[in-house]
Amino acid sequence: MSGYFLDLVAISSALKVLLFPAYYSTDFEVHRNWLAITHSLPINRWYLDATSEWTLDYPPFFAYFEWLLSQVAKYVDPKMLIVQNLNYASEATVYFQRSSIIVMDLIYMLGVHSILAALGVVQSTQKHIAGSMLLLLNVGLIFVDHIHFQYNGFLFGILFLSISAMIKKRYLWSAFAFAVLLNFKHIFLYVAPAFAVYLLKFYCLGEGKFVQNTIKLLAAGLTPFVLSFGPFWQQLPQLMSRLFPFKRGLTHAYWAPNIWALYNAADKVAVSVLGRSRDPDVPSTTSGLVQEVQHIVLPTITPSITFALTVLSMLPILLKLFLTPTREQAKLVFMRAIVLCACSSFMFGWHVHEKAILMCLLPMCLLAVIDHRDAKFAYILAITGYFSLFPLLFDVDLLVPRYSLYMAYVAMMYGQLERVYKTKPSIHILEWIYFYGFIAIPIYEHIISRLLGLHLSLPFMPLLLTSVYCALGVTYFYVRYYLYAMDFQWPPSFGKRRRVTQIKSSVSKRKRKVQ
Amino acid sequence: MSSELIATVFVAISLRSIISMSSYSGFNKPPMFGDYEAQRHWQEVTFNLEVKLWYTNSTRNDLQYWGLDYPPLTAYHSYLLGHVAEKLNKSFVELYKSRGLESKEHKSYMRFTVLAADAFIFIPAILALSIFMDRTFKKNLRQQMQLLFAIYPGQILIDNGHFQYNNISLGLASVAVAALLCDQNYFAAFTFTLALNYKQMELYHALPFFAYLLSKSLSEKSVNSAVKELTKVATIVLFTFVILWYPWLNSTHSTAEVFHRLFPLGRGVFEDKVANVWCSINIVYKLRKYISNHKMALICFGTTLLAALPINVHLFFRRSKYTFILTLFNTAAAFFLFSFQVHEKSILLVALPSFCLIYWWPTEMLWFLKVSVFSMIPLLKKDNLLVPTVALMIIFRFTFKNWVFKTDDITISKRYFKMSIEQVSEILMIATLLAFLLIEPPSRFPDTWPLIISIISCGHILIFLIWGYTKQLT
Chain B residues with CB under 8 Å of A21 CB are 21-23
Closest CA to A252 of A286, A300, A301: A286
Range of the domain at A296: 249-491
Q: A267 falls in which pLDDT band (50, 70, 90)? A: confident
Q: Which residues contact B39 (CB under 8 A, 6 or more apart)?
A: B78, B110, B163, B164, B165
Nearest-CB residue to B18 (from A18, A412, A418)? A18
Q: Could you report the per-residue pLDDT of A337-368, keeping only the tens digit for each? A: 999 999 999 999 988 899 999 999 999 999 99
Q: Does residue A290 register a pLDDT over 70?
A: no
Alpha-carbon distance values, A485 to A326, A374, A479, B150, B207 (Å): 16, 9, 10, 40, 66
8 Å CB contact of B10 and A408: yes
Q: Are residues A238 and A303 part of one domain?
A: no
Task: Give the H/E segment covering residue A278.
Answer: none
Contact call for residues B374 and B275 (beta carbons, < 8 A): no
* Optimal mutation site among A137, A393, A404, interface B, most CBs of chain B within 10 A: A404
For an interface test with A, give the residue of B3, B19, B24, B401 to mutate (most A CBs within 10 A): B3
Residue of A nearest to B385 (CA): A18
Which pLDDT tens digit goes with each residue over A205-221? 888 888 999 999 999 99
Is the four-CA dihedral A201, A202, A206, A210 of positive or negative sign? negative
Both A218 and A337 in a single domain? no
Which amino acid makes up residue A26? Answer: T
Does the pLDDT at position A291 exceed 50? Answer: no
Q: Coil, strand or helix: which one is A168?
A: coil
A82 in contact with B at a CB cutoff of 8 Å?
Answer: no
DSSP B100-155: T---HHHHHHHHHHHHHHIIIIIHHHHHHHHHHHHHHHT---HHHHHHHHHH-HHH
Q: Is the pTM above the cut of 0.90?
A: yes
What share of chain B has pLDDT > 70, as a percent? 97
Which residues of chain A make contact with B10, given a CB cutoff of 8 A?
404-405, 407-408, 411
Say whether residue B392 is in contact with chain A using an 8 A CB cutoff.
yes
Question: Average pLDDT in the A451-455 region?
Answer: 86
**Cα distance between residue B273 and residue B282, in whole Å:** 10
B10 in A contact zone (CB under 8 Å): yes
- Long-range pairs, B291-298, Cβ under 8 A, ≥24: B293/B265, B293/B266, B293/B268, B293/B269, B294/B265, B296/B268, B296/B269, B296/B340, B297/B265, B297/B269, B297/B340
Separation CA A292–CA A24 (nearest Å): 27
Position A495 scores a pLDDT of 47
pLDDT for position B326: 95
Of the candidates B306, B118, B110, the one whose C-alpha atom is nearest the C-alpha of residue B207 is B306
Is residue A297 domain-shared with residue A238, that is, in the same domain?
no
Interface membership of A279 toward B (CB under 8 Å):
no
Assigned domain for A282 exists: yes
Task: Examine residue A187 and state whether it is found in any structural domain, yes or no.
Answer: yes
Query: Per-residue confidence at A33, pLDDT binned at 50, 70, 90?
Result: very high
Rg for chain A, CA atoms, rounded: 24
Phi first, then psi: give them for residue A218, nearest 5 degrees: -60, -40
The residue among B52, B57, B68, B62 whose CA lies nearest residue B95 is B62
Taking an 8 Å cut-off on Cβ atoms, the answer to whether A397 and B20 are in contact is yes
Q: What residue type is B414 in one-letter code?
A: K
The verdict on whether omega for the bond into residue B446 sits within 30 degrees of 0, i.e. cis, is no
State the Cα–Cα distance between residues B390 and B374, nearest whole angstrom.
10
Residues A486 and A433 in one domain: yes
What pLDDT, in 10s, does the model give residues A88-119? 999 999 999 999 999 999 999 999 999 999 99
Of A14, A21, A415, the CB nearest to B394: A14
Asked, for residue A498, whether it belongs to a domain, the answer is no
B342: helix, strand or coil: strand
Contact B11 A408 (CB under 8 A): yes
Q: What angle do CA A342, A343, A345 make, to 5 degrees?
A: 70
- Rounded to 5 degrees, φ, ψ at B270 are -155, 160
Tell whether A302 and A233 lie within a shared domain.
no
Q: What is the pLDDT of residue A442?
A: 93
Regarding whether A90 and A221 lie in a shared domain, the answer is yes
CA-to-CA distance for B136 and B129, rounded, in angstroms?
A: 10
Compare all CA atoms of chain A with the CA of B393 and give the residue at the minimum distance: A14
Contact: B395, A11; criterion CB under 8 Å:
yes
Mapping DSSP to helix (H, G, I), strand (E, B) and coil, where does residue A75 land? helix
The half-sphere exposure of A74 on its side-chain side, counting CA atoms within 13 A, is 10
pLDDT: which is higher, B155 or A301 = B155
Q: What pLDDT score does A278 carry?
A: 56
The list of chain B residues with pLDDT below 50 reads: none
Residues A188 and A329 in one domain: no
Q: Total domain count for chain A?
A: 2
For residue A19, which residues of chain B lie inside 8 Å, CB to CB? 18, 21
**A91 interface with B at CB cutoff 8 Å:** no
CA R_g for chain B: 22
Question: Would you state the pLDDT for residue A366?
Answer: 95
Give the span between the Cα atoms of A40 and A90, in whole angstroms.
19
Are A220 and A328 found together in one domain?
A: no
pLDDT 10s digits, A392-403: 999 999 999 999
Question: In terms of domains, do A220 and A254 share one?
Answer: no
Question: Quick check: A437 contacting B, CB < 8 Å?
Answer: no
Tell me which chain B residues have a C-beta less than 8 angstroms from the C-beta of A18.
15, 18-19, 388, 391-392
Q: List, for residues A148-179, the tens digit of each pLDDT value.
A: 999 999 999 999 999 999 999 999 999 999 99
Mean of the per-residue pLDDT values of chain A: 88
pLDDT digits (tens, 9 = 90+) for A60-96: 999 999 999 999 999 999 999 998 888 899 999 999 9
Same domain, A259 and A298: yes
In a domain, A135, yes or no: yes
**Residues of chain B contacting A22 with CB distance shorter than 8 Å:** 18, 21
Please give the single-letter amino acid code of residue A47: Y
Torsion of CA B58, B59, B65, B68, to 10 degrees: -30
**Cβ-defined contact of A412 to B387 (cutoff 8 Å):** no
Interchain CB contact of B103 with A (< 8 Å): no
B14, B21, B392: residue with CB nearest A405: B14
Cβ–Cβ of B4/A411 closer than 8 Å? yes
The residue in chain B having the minimum alpha-carbon distance to the alpha carbon of residue A407 is B10
Q: Where are the domains of chain B?
A: 165-246, 264-375+408-474
Contacts of A11 in chain B (CB under 8 A): 394-395, 398-399
Average pLDDT, integer, range A244-258: 80
Whether A427 is covered by a domain: the verdict is yes
In angstroms, what separates the C-alpha of B34 from chain A's closest C-alpha?
A: 20
Number of CB atoms found within 10 A of residue B384's CB: 15
Q: Is A17's CB within 8 Å of B391's CB?
A: yes
- On whether any CB of chain B is under 8 Å from the CB of A15, the answer is yes
pLDDT in tens, B329-344: 999 999 999 998 889 9
B56-64, long-range: CB < 8 A, 24+ apart: B56/B254, B56/B257, B60/B95, B63/B261
Q: Are residues A176 and A277 in the same domain?
A: no
CB atoms within 10 A of CB B462: 16
Domain end position, chosen among A183, A216, A243: A243
Which one of A182, A210, A243 terminates a domain? A243
Of A13, A23, A415, the CB nearest to B4: A415
Instruction: Say if residue A356 is in the same domain as residue A424.
Output: yes
Q: Which residue of A has its CA nearest to B5?
A: A411
State whether residue A432 sits within 8 Å of chain B by CB. no
* Nearest Cα residue in chain B from A7: B398
Write out chain B residues lying below 8 Å of A411, CB-based: 3-4, 6-7, 10
Residues of B in contact with A13 (CB under 8 A): 394
Residue A488: exposure state from Cβ atoms within 10 A (0-12, 13-18, ≥19): exposed
Chain A contact probe: residue of B15, B16, B18 with most A CBs at under 10 A? B18
User: Which pLDDT score is estimated for B112?
Assistant: 96
Q: Rounded CA gap, A191 and B91, in Å?
A: 54
**Residue A470: is its pLDDT beyond 90?**
yes
pLDDT digits (tens, 9 = 90+) for B157-172: 999 999 999 999 999 9
Q: What is the rounded distance in angstroms from the CA atom of residue B361 to the CA atom of residue B367? A: 10
Picking from A7, A19, A405, the nearest residue to B401 by CB comes out as A7
* Backbone region of residue B232 per phi and psi (left: phi > 0; alpha: psi in -120 to 50; beta: other values): alpha
Query: Which of B19, B21, B146 is the mutation pick for testing A, counting most A CBs within 10 A?
Result: B21
CB B302 within 8 A of CB B345: no
Could you tell me if residue A439 is inside a domain? yes
For residues B210 and B240, what is the distance between their CA atoms, to the nearest angstrom? Answer: 16
pLDDT of residue A289: 42
The verdict on ipTM greater than 0.90 is: yes
Residue B17 in contact with partner chain A when CB distance is under 8 A = yes
pLDDT at site A4: 87
A14 reaches B (C-beta below 8 A): yes
Nearest residue in chain B measured CA to CA from A417: B3
Closest CA–CA distance from residue B234 to any residue of chain A (Å): 42
Other beta carbons less than 10 A from residue A48's beta carbon: 14
Containing H/E element for B220?
none
- Counting one residue from chain A and one from chain B, the pairs whose CB atoms sit within 8 A come to 85
For A352, phi and psi rounded to 5 degrees?
A: -80, 140
Please tell me if residue A404 touches chain B, with a CB cutoff of 8 Å.
yes
Contact A11 B399 (CB under 8 A): yes
Residue A420 has pLDDT above 80, yes or no: yes
3-state helix, strand, coil in chain B (%, to 5): 75, 0, 25
Rounded Cα distance, B197 and B199, in Å:
6
